[in-house]
Structure formats: structure tokens, C-alpha cells
Amino acid sequence: MTTKRIETSRTQVGQKSLFIETIRDMETGRQIITVYKSYQTPVAFETADVLAVSENVFSSTTGRHIGIIEREYLGTIKSKRLERDEFENLLLETVIDEGLTERDI
């Protein structure tokens, strides 16, 4: 198995603990995945084929972060949020399908 050479960029949104991490393939420049995190916890992600948002099972601050992500970045609606276990499984499956490891996110 060959290891993908990746580059990760991290952007803090506002003054709070909301971050956007984008992972690119260094050889092709292709954006592989964008992961939206509240503190260090992934709460949404998108690839060319998948868009997923977790339900909020954390704090009210994380709930606000999810709302910001949906309104300002993804254009999704609350009713499309996935149960936390389903979200985590889909994220891991997507990461593996993209040739990444769990450590990469």
C-alpha cells in the first residue's frame, strides 16, 4: 500500500473554537476532504461525493458551531443531520475510501 502525500490547511472561524481543515493530495492538488470541527471534534465533512453533518450531542456551543457550518458553508438544513454513530461511521468509511487514515483527520 502506498501512502498518499497530503497537505492539511486549518482555518479558525471567528474567535471561537470552530475550525475548517482541508486536506489536499500534494501530487494532484485535488481537495480530498474538508472537515469542520468544533474544538477538536469533527461535526461535518464534505468531499466531491459526500456531504454529512452530525446531530449535536455535545454542548450548546457546538450546536451553534454546527448551525454556522450549515448556514454559512454547506447550505444544508437541520433535518438532514445524521445520528452521531452514523456520522462517525460514514466519516471513517469516507476517509478510508479516499486512501487516508484516521490520523489524517
Interval 1-48: pLDDT, tens: 556 789 999 999 987 799 999 999 999 999 999 999 999 999 999 999
Predicted local confidence at residue 16, as pLDDT:
78
Strand-pairing partners, residue 33, are 23
Predicted local confidence at residue 74, as pLDDT:
87
pLDDT digits (tens, 9 = 90+) for 47-105: 999 999 999 999 999 999 999 999 988 887 666 899 999 999 999 999 999 989 888 88
Structural domain total, the chain: 1
Residue 1 within any structural domain of the chain:
no
Residue 105 within any structural domain of the chain:
no
What amino acid is encoded at 103 in this protein? R
31-38 sheet: strands from edge to edge: 6-13, 18-25, 31-38, 41-46, 51-53
Residue 12 within any structural domain of the chain:
yes
| CA nearest to 87, candidates 39, 37, 48 | 37
Residue 44 within any structural domain of the chain:
yes
Rounded to two decimals, what is the model's pTM?
Answer: 0.90
* Domain with 19 in it: 6-100
